[in-house]
Chains A and B, each alone.
Chain A
Amino acid sequence: MTRLAFQLSSYQEEFLIAASWIDEIKVVSIDENPDAIVTDNTDIKSNEKSVLLFGSLPIEGKSLITPALPKRFSPEVIALRESLDAGNLGELGLLRMHLWNQKKSDRVQEMVHAIDLALWFFGANPEYIHGAASAEKEVKCSLIHLGFKCGGMALLDFTNSLPTGDNYESLSLIGSKGAAYSDDHRNRNLFFSGGAPGAKCPDIRMNFIGPMLKDFTQKIQTGADLESNSKSYNTAFNIFSEVRQKYYFK
């Protein structure tokens, strides 16, 4: 049993619900000497406890703080990863992602997590890094293009152009034996209330929380390397920074 404390400025309720579904987790308050803390506050005093930091930029040098990598735990990514790991898709050749957010979204976090996902799927750092960007008014479009030593490639398309409402995500894995596609286009249902119908996905945006907490608590229980998340995050962040610097992301 891992005693987890939650201190989040947003989504606290969703995290508590997800934690309540996991046998190995006991939710305690921050004053009850938890085994670990889940928070989005980078200034939190951890008192030598492990911290899962969600949705904020980690501060260098704080070794006990583990950046959350939520994209690795979304239901579609889990299904794709399982298929790849089972060998059904063969050798991964291409990861293609479209990630469209709203103007107020945290672009840096989104892009860093997407880069991490690409590196995680390929299990390697890229040999070639390229980018391109276009912007007008408040709309920004960015493209990150990675090439891996194995010859594999990743092409990640980002924008913050969407109006208030849903985001849009599409992820494809093209392997030597098969391919897997996950996208919000395919998963939309239609809602008619006059005029053109609305098209909405069933809301599974927060479904990553449960698997992410499970992974975190398992690592604590087994004494696994919690720093691997930090290394992965920093590698992805450095790639993002390189692209931003070289290719004039604004």
Chain B
Amino acid sequence: MKCTDRKKKPFKVGVLSVVKHDYLPRAIAAHPRFSLSFVSDDISRPEWTHERNQKFADEFQIPYIKDIAAAIKDNQIDAVAVSPEAERHCELAIIAAEAGLHIVVDKPLSTNTHKCDKLIDAVNENGVSCLIWNRNYLPALIQANQKVSSGEIGKLLSLHCDFYFSKDAGPPIGSRKPNDPPIEWLDRQLEAHSDGSDGGVGTEAMGELEVEGIYPLAYIQMLTGGAKVNRVFARTKSHFHQAHFDNNVDDLATVTLEIEGGITGSLSIGRIGAASHPDIGEIKLHIIGTEGSVVISEARPEVSIHYRDQPMAEFKNQRIADQNNYLLAENFARSIDGTEKPILDCIEARDICATVSAAIESSKEGKPVNVDNRKK
């Protein structure tokens, strides 16, 4: 760990939409090297987005400007925190990059590699930094990375991630009556905001692989030292939730990964329902090297707390010493300083997007699919 350089003047940050979870702009606001200047979004956005943006702006006592171009032009800012609907992440990040602003953007970057490529070009042309939100600084991930990068387990041969979020997503599959209309994706996501399970908020329906797959794939990306996934084979299914079934997106998926350097990997991922785990979910890494192997539980360290009249929905095991958000913000500050690379940059996130797209295609076709990685 390194000290935060408190002598440097804080970077001024504009928040470009905060309609999903607000953990990202909150993390930036909580870090001493950043200060929030405004929240902005386009006036043409639907009313519910304005309500959420205004609420966040009010809490932080900063203006809400319903014109992104004007907000950027009229305020001297260094960077933006981008947290709109999932399908707009790339679009707003591109606007910022073209304005010469550093970017921290929520995950997933996009479901479309062409949009990612446009962002990468804008980032390169304008010499700005771009960090995509991830969980690579969780204590267990830091431990796993130290074990692998130190060479202690020898050459990496195989790694596997089990990534199950025990979140609900509306009514269970099979609950829709014959004459009921299919569930509208956006309606369901708006409803899910209250319990924070609206990771795929927007009009574009996204499956679990598209919304959350970036987390485990970013683990694999980090632990392999940036090795590319060359080919995938996948199975996907709408198994739990009516909203996923009605919108033809997965909530359960398995992916075989063939990775550069002769590494094999796999991912099993699902939004398995709140009843299926006492906490946020079973999340594990299994890593095999030529000289040793590692089993890591992403949740550790944690404490267990049980008491009479405990609310059913309260996690019985609580994660502790989780500094992921602070360390991501620190990494963003250092990447703006030019002293550190973003722990997950837009090129890496773009190739993760390509891996996810290939997995979805593989599942539809029932055969392995090559990953369309960005050409070097």
Do these two chains really belong together in a complex? yes
**Chain B 264-304 near chain A by CB (<8 Å), digits 1 or 0:** 10101010110111000010101011100101010000000
Residue numbers in B under 8 Å from A179 (CB-CB): 164, 166, 272, 276-277, 282
Give A106-141 interface residues, CB cut-off 8 Å to B.
Answer: 127-128, 130-137, 139, 141
Instruction: Say which residue of B266, B275, B293 sits within 8 Å of A145 (CB atoms).
Output: B266
A134→B366 contact, CB < 8 A:
no
- Contact A157/B239 with A100-B288, A136-B155 known, Cβ cut-off 8 Å: no
B268→A96 contact, CB < 8 A:
yes
Residue numbers in A under 8 Å from B237 (CB-CB): 93, 151-153
A134→B286 contact, CB < 8 A:
no
- Contact A155/B266 with A134-B158, A136-B157 known, Cβ cut-off 8 Å: yes
A185→B295 contact, CB < 8 A:
yes
Stretch with Cβ within 8 A of B (4 or more), from A46-54, A57-65, A170-178, A224-232: A170-178
A139→B290 contact, CB < 8 A:
yes
Cβ-based interface call for B10 (8 A): no
Give A153-210 interface residues, CB cut-off 8 Å to B.
Answer: 153-155, 157, 159, 161-162, 168, 170, 172, 174-179, 181, 183, 185
Residue numbers in B under 8 Å from A161 (CB-CB): 157, 288-290, 293
Cβ-based interface call for B85 (8 A): no
Complex Cα spacing A170 to B295, Å: 10
Residue numbers in B under 8 Å from A174 (CB-CB): 164, 239, 252, 268, 270, 272, 276
Cβ-based interface call for B170 (8 A): no
Q: Smallest CB–CB gap between B120 and chain A, Å?
A: 29
A159→B155 contact, CB < 8 A:
no
B270→A159 contact, CB < 8 A:
no
Residue numbers in A under 8 Å from B257 (CB-CB): 132
Cβ-based interface call for B256 (8 A): yes
Cβ-based interface call for A147 (8 A): yes
B256→A143 contact, CB < 8 A:
yes
Residue numbers in B under 8 Å from A135 (CB-CB): 157
Residue numbers in A under 8 Å from B102 (CB-CB): none
**Chain B 96-109 near chain A by CB (<8 Å), digits 1 or 0:** 00000000000000
Q: Which residue of A lies closest to B240 (CB)?
A: A176
Q: Smallest CB–CB gap between A102 and chain B, Å?
A: 11
Q: Which residue of A lies closest to B363 (CB)?
A: A147
- Contact A132/B270 with A141-B158, A145-B235, A152-B237 known, Cβ cut-off 8 Å: no
Chain B interface secondary structure, helix, strand, loop or mixed?
A: strand
Interface size on B, residues (CB 8 A): 41
Cβ-based interface call for A91 (8 A): yes
Cβ-based interface call for B311 (8 A): no
Instruction: Say which residue of A98, A128, A178, A181 sits within 8 Å of B235 (CB atoms).
Output: A128
Q: Which residue of A lies closest to B153 (CB)?
A: A161
Chain A interface secondary structure, helix, strand, loop or mixed?
A: strand
B276→A141 contact, CB < 8 A:
no
Instruction: Say which residue of A132, A155, A177, A185 sits within 8 Å of B254 (CB atoms).
Output: A155
Complex Cα spacing A139 to B293, Å: 11
Q: Which residue of B lies closest to A157 (CB)?
A: B160
Residue numbers in B under 8 Å from A96 (CB-CB): 162, 254, 268
Instruction: Say which residue of B157, B254, B263 sits within 8 Å of A139 (CB atoms).
Output: B157
Q: Which residue of A lies closest to B275 (CB)?
A: A178
Complex Cα spacing A41 to B368, Å: 41
B172→A147 contact, CB < 8 A:
no
Complex Cα spacing A181 to B284, Å: 12
Q: Which residue of B lies closest to A91 (CB)?
A: B239
Interface size on A, residues (CB 8 A): 43
- Contact A153/B263 with A94-B270, A159-B158 known, Cβ cut-off 8 Å: no
Complex Cα spacing A142 to B268, Å: 16
Residue numbers in B under 8 Å from A130 (CB-CB): 233, 256, 368
Q: Which residue of A lies closest to B261 (CB)?
A: A134
A159→B288 contact, CB < 8 A:
yes
Complex Cα spacing A179 to B273, Å: 9
**Chain B 6-21 near chain A by CB (<8 Å), digits 1 or 0:** 0000000000000000
Complex Cα spacing A162 to B239, Å: 35
Q: Smallest CB–CB gap between A118 and chain B, Å?
A: 12
Complex Cα spacing A183 to B297, Å: 11
Residue numbers in B under 8 Å from A132 (CB-CB): 233, 256-258, 264, 266
Of A141, A147, A177, most buried by chain B (CB within 10 Å of CB) is A141
Residue numbers in A under 8 Å from B289 (CB-CB): 161
Residue numbers in A under 8 Å from B157 (CB-CB): 134-136, 139, 141, 159, 161
- Contact A170/B286 with A94-B252, A159-B158 known, Cβ cut-off 8 Å: yes
A134→B262 contact, CB < 8 A:
yes
Instruction: Return 25 A-B CB contacts under 8 Å, by A number.
Output: A93-B237, A93-B239, A96-B162, A96-B254, A100-B293, A130-B368, A137-B290, A141-B158, A145-B233, A145-B235, A145-B254, A145-B266, A157-B160, A157-B286, A159-B288, A161-B157, A161-B288, A170-B286, A172-B282, A174-B276, A176-B172, A176-B173, A177-B273, A177-B275, A179-B272
Chain A to chain B: the 9 pairs with minimum beta-carbon distance, closest first: A141-B158, A179-B276, A153-B235, A93-B239, A151-B237, A130-B233, A147-B235, A134-B264, A132-B264
A residues near B (Cβ < 8 Å) are: 91, 93-94, 96, 98, 100, 127-128, 130-137, 139, 141-143, 145, 147, 151-155, 157, 159, 161-162, 168, 170, 172, 174-179, 181, 183, 185
B residues near A (Cβ < 8 Å) are: 155, 157-158, 160, 162, 164, 166, 172-173, 233, 235, 237, 239-240, 252, 254, 256-258, 262-264, 266, 268, 270, 272-273, 275-277, 282, 284, 286, 288-290, 293, 295, 297, 366, 368
